[in-house]
Amino acid sequence: QIAVAHGDVNNQVVLVPKGSRARSIADLKGKRVGYVRATTAQYFLIRMLEEVGLSWDDITPVAMGVSDGAAAFSQGALDAWAIYGFPIQRAIATEGARILRTAYGILSGNYLVSAHVDALADPDKAAIIREYLALVQQGFGWAAAHQDEWAGIVAQDIGVPRDYVLDQFRRKSATYELRPVTPQAIGSQQQVADVFFKAGLVPKRVDVRPLWDARFNDAIPKRG
């Protein structure tokens, strides 16, 4: 893990259907809550429950993939749905869904940039990686400065309405930028690993520090 792509966390939320009486995470006690297993969705749901004094056992968790979760939510089979990305905008726009809480304040916004150990051991490939990181930072800067144009590109590329992309951009907690490897970034990932160990998703405690390599920190320019 050679860098952090830091960005939005408001695109990760707990949704409730139209007409739901839930006004806080505490209101999910005893409710059927969909989530995507072993992803940020499960992590932030666990943390949100803990913050209001609830445990995983206080809800009826329903693990399912994104498409199955969307169908179950649309059909009224879920009381809430921990989800990320453009299914949020679709559910709001087409079904009157409501965001109960975003993951802001729980997720770090750190999305990891990784390189294969064989590439890192090859001087020529390592040089290309350095160039790549600089170009990615330049691209993030362009996207931040041209959000309307970028929204059209994203919408066409992944096949969602442009209005969905613009809505996600309007709600964002941060624009994307590359950041170097820091003790804070490593500590944030360690917290996720510890939560997943406690939840039984990994069989033993994991030390994440050996997964990180800071050799490219000086290759990441400050975003203009």
The pLDDT tens digits for 32-53 are 999 999 999 999 999 999 999 9
Q: What percent of the chain has pLDDT over 90?
A: 99
Three-class SS of the chain: CCEEEECCCCCEEEEECCCCCCCCHHHHCCCEEEECCCCHHHHHHHHHHHHCCCCHHHCEEEECCHHHHHHHHHCCCCCEEEEECCHHHHHHHHHCCEEEEECECCECCEEEECCCHHHHCCHHHHHHHHHHHHHHHHHHHHHHHCHHHHHHHHHHHHCCCHHHHHHHHHHCCCCCEEECCCHHHHHHHHHHHHHHHHCCCCCCCCCCHHHCCCCCHHHCCCCC
Please state, in angstroms and rounded to a whole number, the distance separating the CA atoms of residues 69 and 87. Answer: 10
pLDDT in tens, 64-100: 999 999 999 999 999 999 999 999 999 999 999 999 9
User: What's the whole-number mean pLDDT along residues 140-162?
Assistant: 97
Condensed to tens digits (0 to 9), the pLDDT of residues 97-137 reads 999 999 999 999 999 999 999 999 999 999 999 999 999 99
Cα-based distances in Å from 25 to 33, 209, 210: 11, 33, 35
Q: Output the average pLDDT for the chain.
A: 97
pTM value surpassing 0.75? yes
CA atoms within 13 A on the CB side of 159: 0
Q: How many CB atoms lie within 10 A of CB 118?
A: 8
What pLDDT was estimated at residue 223?
76
Q: Where do you find CATH 3.40.190.10 in the chain?
A: 9-102
What letter represents residue 109's amino acid?
G
pLDDT at position 217: 98
What does the block give as tokens for 5? 């792509």
Residue with tokens 């770090």: 108
User: What average pLDDT does range 158-178 have in this prediction?
Assistant: 97
Mean pLDDT computed over 209-220: 97
User: Both tokens of residue 179?
Assistant: 């950041």
CATH topology of domain 9-102: D-Maltodextrin-Binding Protein; domain 2 (3.40.190)
Largest distance between two CA atoms of the chain: 59
Q: How much is the pLDDT for 224? A: 63
- φ, ψ of residue 96 to 5 degrees: the values are 70, 25
Please compute the mean of the pLDDT values over residues 187-214 and round it to a whole number: 97
Rounded mean pLDDT, 16-22: 97
